[in-house]
Amino acid sequence: MLSKEEKELIAQIWEKMIPIASEIGSESLHRMMTTFPGTKTYFSHLDIRPRSRQMLSHGKKIVLAIAECSKDISSMMVTLAPLQTLHAYKLKIDPYNLKYLSHCLIVTLAAHMGSDFDPVAHAAMDKFLSAFAAVLAEKYR
Residue closer to other proteins (CB basis): 94 or 126: 126
112 in contact with other proteins (CB under 8 A):
yes
- Residue 34, interface with other proteins (CB under 8 A)? yes
Select from 1, 4, 74, 119 the one that contacts other proteins (CB under 8 A).
119
Task: Give me the half-sphere count of Cα atoms (radius 13 Å) on the Cβ side of residue 15.
Answer: 8
Q: Is 16 in the site for other proteins (CB under 8 A)?
A: no
- Among 5, 18, 28, 8, residue whose Cα is nearest residue 110: 28
Distance between CA atoms of 71 and 32, rounded to whole angstroms?
A: 25
Amino acid symbol at 46: L
Among 35, 75, 85, 130, binds other proteins (CB under 8 A): 35
- Exactly one of 96, 120, 134, 140 binds other proteins (CB under 8 A); that residue is 120
For 88-141, the DSSP string reads IIII---THHHHHHHHHHHHHHHHHHGGGS-HHHHHHHHHHHHHHHHHHTTT--
Q: Closer CB to other proteins, residue 30 or residue 58?
A: 30
Contact 122, 110 (CB under 8 A): yes
Q: Which of 21, 31, 60, 65 binds other proteins (CB under 8 A)?
A: 31
* Contact pick of 11, 18, 106, 133 for other proteins (by CB under 8 A): 106
Give residues in contact with other proteins (CB under 8 A): 27, 30-31, 33-35, 50, 103-104, 106-108, 110-115, 117, 119-120, 122-123, 126
